[in-house]
Amino acid sequence: MKYFPVFIDAQHTHCLIVGAGEVAARKLELMLKTTAQITVVAPWVSDAVNELAKHPNVSLLTRSFEDNDLQAKTLVFVATDKPEVNQHIHDLAHSKGILVNVVDNTPLCKFITPSIVDRSPIIIAMSSGGVAPVLLRYIRQKLESVIPSKVSLLGEFSEKFREKVKRGLKSVTDRRYFWEEVLDGDIGENVLQGNASLAEKQLDDALTEYKAGNKPKGQVYLVGAGPGDPDLLTFRALRLMQKADVVVYDRLVSKDILELVRRDAEKIYVGKAKSNHTIPQEDINELLAKLALEGNRVVRLKGGDPFIFGRGGEEIQTLIAHGVDFQVVPGITAASGAASYAGIPLTHRDHAQSVTFTTGHLRDNSIDLDWPALAKNNHTLVFYMGLTGLPIICRELIANGLPDDMPIALIENATRSNQRVLSGTLSNIVDLAADAQIQPPTLIIVGTVVTLHSQLNWFGAQQS
């Protein structure tokens, strides 16, 4: 980060604004949202500044800037139309260790003012470092539309009971759990609906229960992370990732998605590389149960969907055996994501009236599938985990009746910025894949729908 985001205690801040035109008026209006003391100095004063200066926190000096105006100031905005004056004030303030902002001159800014969503006492501040102000306004508009104005009531409610909860619950972890349960549940909903008295009683009751040791049990959330693009996460998946104590994730979960996990959550990697299952599935199952029984909220983050070649069913059976509560959050499975981002419809009335998802995973150097049932026309086949077994897949499909010129596509790193799509036929795809050095994770699609890729491809990723 070029700019470190901090919030300054405005109650103990004395701000100097040099200049009194329209630009200075915007800074003055912003500072008047705080409790700071403000001094404005300028030889000429606009009507807007004159009106705002009627506020009791504002002192207006109608004269040119003098060096001693910086005395006892903690924050300075410079908004004059004289470059030499702006430079002088910047240099002088910087030499005194005073934060200074020369408006619309980023190199002369020791701090910048963020774009703000104000739901006091809840404040959201955003910055692009001065490089994309229009984009920042766009993001702010989006946030303004989704954050209810009444969220300020939750802030006030939390402030009112903060010390009481702190006295009652000594552990930081216990307090975090407690507040999350409060804000996510009926108490928070009653606050938002204006039922403050009922919410206060509920909080007192909940705090009593918590202090008595009647805390919520640990729980496991099996969350589908989708094929890789973080924009494909569900809202629910993101919410649970933000409240997890522990995240157990596999190799198919992208770094971009892991960035969305709560910062202080423990992250445990249990990934399986191609032909190298370093952690047995049974051990993963037991680990999830153990973590939950210790009182943690555990997110088991899986690439794709937990119930489509994700072994989610096996993990749940272990959780049930240990009496652990769980939830399942579906995700966009790899087949759907890869096909969509490659412009290959899995069904099309001119090409395929059905689709089969199957595993191409090798076991004892073979793939035990019902090849005669798979090798049929007007049908799409999707193979998960089939890159190592690609020669066997092609050989068996041809041997069981598919023509050797049947189209096939390999989709590497589906939905990600480095996605590659390699098209060929059953007879030549093995050599093409070797030449292109295709790597896992790669999904395989077989069928005449693959011929639509060149026409329908919209993602613009790398093609082969």
Cα→Cα distances 303→96, 296, 309, 389, Å:
53, 22, 10, 21
Tell me how many degrees the CA angle 427-429-434 measures, rounded to the nearest 5.
130
How far apart are the C-alpha atoms of 337 and 441, rounded to whole Å?
A: 13
| The residue to which tokens 């795809």 are assigned | 429
Can you say how many angstroms the Cα of residue 436 is from the centroid of all Cα atoms in its chain?
A: 32
Beta-bridged to residue 116, according to DSSP, are 125
How far apart are the C-alpha atoms of 88 and 347, rounded to whole Å?
A: 69
| Residue 47 annotated as catalytic | no
Tell me how many degrees the CA angle 372-365-225 measures, rounded to the nearest 5.
80
DSSP string for 376-412 = -SS-EEEEES-STTHHHHHHHHHHTT--TT-EEEEEE
Q: Which residues contact 4 (CB under 8 A, 6 or more apart)?
A: none
* Element counts in the chain: helices (H) and strands (E): 17, 18
SS3 state of residue 221: strand
* The pairing of beta strand 219-224 with beta strand 297-302: parallel
Question: 118, 188, 177, 178: which is closest to 153 by C-alpha?
Answer: 188
| Max intra-chain CA distance, the chain | 93
DSSP state of 420: E
Catalytic residue among 82, 243, 267, 272: 272
| Residue 272 annotated as catalytic | yes
Catalytic residue among 69, 250, 302, 305: 250
Q: Which residues contact 271 (CB under 8 A, 6 or more apart)?
A: 249, 250, 251, 252, 278, 279
Provide the sign of the torsion angle of the four alpha carbons 298, 302, 304, 308, taken in this order: negative
How far apart are the C-alpha atoms of 281 and 172, rounded to whole Å?
A: 33
DSSP string for 253-322 = S-HHHHTTS-TTSEEEE---BTTB--S-HHHHHHHHHHHHHTT-EEEEEESB-TTSSS-HHHHHHHHHHT
Beta-bridged to residue 328, according to DSSP, are 222
Which residues are designated catalytic?
Answer: 250, 272
